Structure 1
């Protein structure tokens, strides 16, 4: 089956917001075994939106529209789609009650009259409850063609798609598509792909595909089967083989678990605490860790020591170390890692010092040079890295490498 995505909103056309929904939906639909040949963006214009919908339905089995379901006059997706399908709108009592309840719980205020526009649904449409907003999702079916209307905000579209739309689409397939993920750190993309090249060459069902992420490689194993149980049986030998080849470099097989979450779980299991000392990353590492729910069980405090004075005063980095070797040096990273662990009374620590760019580099210490220190139970390890991206990328990679280093040391010291 073929699927086509239409993103609705003038703000997308003008570049005011980044269209992350299209990338998300395309990836999810591919995993469901749907073929996508077209994507488009249409502004809040009735005529152009109608043209886009009619064209999409003429060449694709399924049309997924995101955005344009809000309460204002320029939100036209539902109205135009209903027109194309020849459906009248009616007020859905269930949706109206959910909107009322949402306002009572979230806004503690009365519903404004224009919000009742969101309770209008096309005749014969399947209504998909929105558990994170007021605009419901809608599914219209006609003569083998399907239009799926989803709200625009990512925090609404993603849970709705995963909870309701993906199962609906999966049932349309003669065989269901199921997948498992192996997330890997400590190995680069090229090496990881080389290690599974024979599996990729011989693949039929299941298949395996690598995806490069910042500082990580994700391997997705996908199987077609008429039941999830059979798919799991097909994927089990492949997953076992991946563990044989990559071992503990696989930090999770759970789709939604991040590297930082896996590390927080390790620290919790070992009854350990961690702290951070950052210079060039300016708190990004602390942010990654504290994004994890429950991180407060293992992360008590962190330090941003951008200046030499702060490194001396807060982390007790020796002045002679800074004078002789500089702030960007393995010696300073070592003393930062050791000093912050003692300052915070933590079992483990990470330190980052480097030159993120675009300026500040020299021939001896170029932009992208970063030293990362890791302290675990009295042992300190320092690694040197040369990143070649822009300032943002260099900082992102430094954080990813720091997390990987911490995980390696936690495994080593267990």
Structure 2
């Protein structure tokens, strides 16, 4: 079945808000095995919304609209949809009672204005979805083999309504399901990843294979369509095993919800090790990534931000002679930062970053030059990188590479 999304609201067109609803709904449509070929964004204009809806109905089986269900005059979605579908609007007593209850809760003793009753009118014969987080009910209109689903715009209303009501409706409507698995890779660039799986991509039918780029990483999504979950999983598993054989230790996870820092923290906890971070150009971003993970307090001993040469010497005992001879951005200084961090924090493993994030180069050292050192037991590994991009991208790439180096050293 083919689905299409229409996001309603002039504020989206003007860039006043980010259209997170479309991203959420796209992902949900994919999980139900719906083919999503088109999306539209329409302002609060009756004629343009009607035209967009007519086009969507013509080429899709299911049309999902979000936004424009409020009480004001520029909230037109329900009225325009009813007109296009040839439906009469009638007052729904249950929706009116719900609006009264919600507004009394929200406004306490304030007067309820007349325009709020606009939300109690629904297309005759439609399926009504109660909004437990707002006043505008959700609506499903079925006609001539088409399903039109109207959802409120605020994400804190739209998402719960979709989870509570729309999922039940779509499960009955769509006989096939999609199952996906994500293979997450670090240490191999996106172009090389695609080259190494090009034979699989060229030969794909079901399952399908797609590569995605993320800062410092490459992800491969394998998706199968089947009548049930068990059959879909069986179709995906051989592809995943093939990828594991090709990319080996460069794969850090096959769990879509697991990030690189999650894997690192889990490994530190399993080995009962404590880590110290020592950062120059990244200014605490590495420690911040680790602190994103619940339970990291068991393993993160301390984080040093040693941006200035004086702080490198004072906080982690980098030798002044090393700084003068090799410069702050050097493998020698990175190693001393990692070793010094371990001693000062009494940690088991140290990871250090020093580099030039830009925008200005330093003498003979270019923007993007970064050294990352990891010290564990009696072993020290130091890597040199030359990153491209602006200041933030250099820093983000440095953190990802540092996490990956830490992951590999722990093995």
**TM tier, smaller:** 0.7 to 0.9
Structure 2 distance, partners of 1:208, 1:368, is 32
- Out of 86, 92, 97, the position equivalent to 2:95 is 92
1:185-334 matched pairs, under 5 angstroms: 185-334=186-335
Normalising by the residue count of structure 2, what TM-score does the alignment of the two structures yield? 0.84
Structure 2 distance, partners of 1:159, 1:246, is 39
Q: Helix, strand or coil for the counterpart of 2:397?
A: helix
Normalising by the residue count of structure 1, what TM-score does the alignment of the two structures yield? 0.83
Deviates more, 1:86-95 or 1:62-71: 86-95
Structure 2 distance, partners of 1:271, 1:159, is 40
- Across the two proteins, how many residue pairs are aligned to each other? 404
Residues 230, 380 of structure 1: CA spacing in aligned structure 2 closer, same or farther, 3 A cutoff?
same
1:102-181 matched pairs, under 5 angstroms: 110=108, 113=112, 120=120, 122=122, 124-127=126-129, 137-153=138-154, 165=166, 168-169=169-170, 171-181=172-182
Contact 2:131–2:157 (Cα < 8 Å) also in 1: no
Contact 1:214–1:396 (Cα < 8 Å) also in 2: yes
The Cα shift of 1:22 comes to 2.9
Contact 1:82–1:89 (Cα < 8 Å) also in 2: no
The CA RMSD over aligned residues, in Å, is 3.3
Contact 2:129–2:165 (Cα < 8 Å) also in 1: no
Contact 1:130–1:137 (Cα < 8 Å) also in 2: no
Deviates more, 1:29-38 or 1:323-332: 29-38
Contact 1:102–1:134 (Cα < 8 Å) also in 2: no
The Cα shift of 1:366 comes to 0.8
Structure 2 distance, partners of 1:186, 1:121, is 57
The Cα shift of 1:384 comes to 1.0
Q: Helix, strand or coil for the counterpart of 2:246?
A: helix
- In the alignment, structure 1 segments of 5+ residues that lack a partner are 104-108
The Cα shift of 1:363 comes to 6.0
Deviates more, 1:151-160 or 1:302-311: 151-160
- In the alignment, structure 2 segments of 5+ residues that lack a partner are none
Q: Helix, strand or coil for the counterpart of 1:181?
A: strand
Residues 310, 5 of structure 1: CA spacing in aligned structure 2 closer, same or farther, 3 A cutoff?
same
Contact 2:6–2:66 (Cα < 8 Å) also in 1: yes
Q: Helix, strand or coil for the counterpart of 2:16?
A: coil
**Aligned position for 1:403:** 403
**Aligned position for 1:106:** none
Q: Helix, strand or coil for the counterpart of 1:395?
A: helix
1:351-366 matched pairs, under 5 angstroms: 351-359=352-360, 361-362=361-362, 364-366=364-366
Residues 22, 68 of structure 1: CA spacing in aligned structure 2 closer, same or farther, 3 A cutoff?
same
